């Protein structure tokens, strides 16, 4: 069985070892066949148990958000990556940060660095949206939730000067910040304490 045959039976570009083994069912030693595919460069390992086809065989370009969701989950992309994705900050960060329901992890892959922060809060599902189409659909924080997550983990902000922190330190776009969804901010409000509460008051006043 060639990699083209395998591709015809696996409908998406990112797939697990279980999906691959189901296609390789006729092989007595599926691990050896997988190893052979990897050595020839027909498939590429993203992380243990997760693969993609070689670039010429992929149906679409791999999307960082999709990779982040697939590498470790349940999770959603957030913080600097999400803020950049939504156009709120000018730079695209080198590390794709996600919020996860499992323990904190970090994966250094051939497709980038993916970091996951553990979230134990009931605020986890608030402001999480699904974007993209077909196999490129993934979960990402809304602008409001991405900022909430950023501040929650960023100890540099002590709550004393939200304006300086947002527009000088983080370099958020002031015009886009004024367009924040107040309904999502209200849903997040009960989970904001201390310095986060001061941030909420500032955003509500914009």
Which tokens hold the place of 17?
């070892």
Q: Are residues 186 and 104 in the same domain?
A: yes
What does the pLDDT read at residue 25?
86
Q: Are residues 118 and 16 in the same domain?
A: no
Read off the pLDDT of residues 24-46 as tens digits, 9 standing for 90 and up.
988 889 999 999 999 999 999 99
Task: In whole angstroms, give the CA distance from residue 16 to residue 198.
Answer: 44
Q: Are residues 77 and 147 in the same domain?
A: yes
Q: Are residues 42 and 97 in the same domain?
A: no
Q: Are residues 111 and 23 in the same domain?
A: no
Per the structure, how many domains does the chain have?
2
Q: Are residues 172 and 100 in the same domain?
A: yes
Q: Are residues 91 and 159 in the same domain?
A: yes
For the chain, which ranges sit under pLDDT 50?
none
Task: In whole angstroms, give the CA distance from residue 166 to residue 31.
Answer: 50
Give residue 17's domain range. 3-57
Read off the pLDDT of residues 159-173 as tens digits, 9 standing for 90 and up.
899 999 999 999 999
> pTM of the predicted model, to two decimals?
0.92
Q: Are residues 129 and 179 in the same domain?
A: yes
Q: Edge-to-edge strands of the sheet including 75-77?
A: 105-109, 112-118, 95-100, 75-77, 138-141, 128-131
Q: Are residues 113 and 136 in the same domain?
A: yes
Residue at which a domain ends, from 42, 57, 72: 57
Q: Are residues 139 and 40 in the same domain?
A: no
Q: Are residues 111 and 17 in the same domain?
A: no
Q: Are residues 86 and 149 in the same domain?
A: yes
């Amino acid at each position: 069985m060639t990699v083209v045959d395998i591709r015809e039976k696996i409908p998406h570009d990112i797939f697990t070892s279980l999906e691959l083994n189901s296609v390789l069912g006729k092989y007595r030693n599926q691990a050896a066949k997988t190893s052979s595919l990897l050595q020839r460069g027909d498939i590429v390992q993203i992380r243990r148990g997760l693969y993609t086809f070689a670039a010429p065989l992929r149906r679409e370009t791999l999307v960082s958000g999709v990779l982040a969701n697939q590498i470790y989950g349940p999770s959603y992309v957030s913080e600097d990556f999400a803020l950049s994705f939504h156009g709120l900050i000018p730079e695209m960060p080198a590390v794709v940060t996600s919020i996860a329901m499992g323990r904190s992890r970090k994966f250094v892959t051939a497709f980038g660095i993916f970091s996951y922060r553990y979230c134990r809060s009931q605020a986890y599902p608030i402001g999480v949206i699904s974007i993209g189409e077909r196999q490129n659909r993934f979960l990402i924080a809304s602008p409001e939730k991405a900022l909430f997550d950023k501040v929650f983990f960023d100890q540099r902000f002590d709550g004393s000067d939200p304006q300086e922190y947002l527009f000088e330190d983080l370099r958020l776009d002031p015009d886009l910040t004024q367009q924040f969804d107040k309904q999502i901010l209200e849903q997040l409000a009960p989970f904001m304490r201390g310095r986060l509460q001061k941030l909420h008051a500032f955003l509500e006043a914009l």
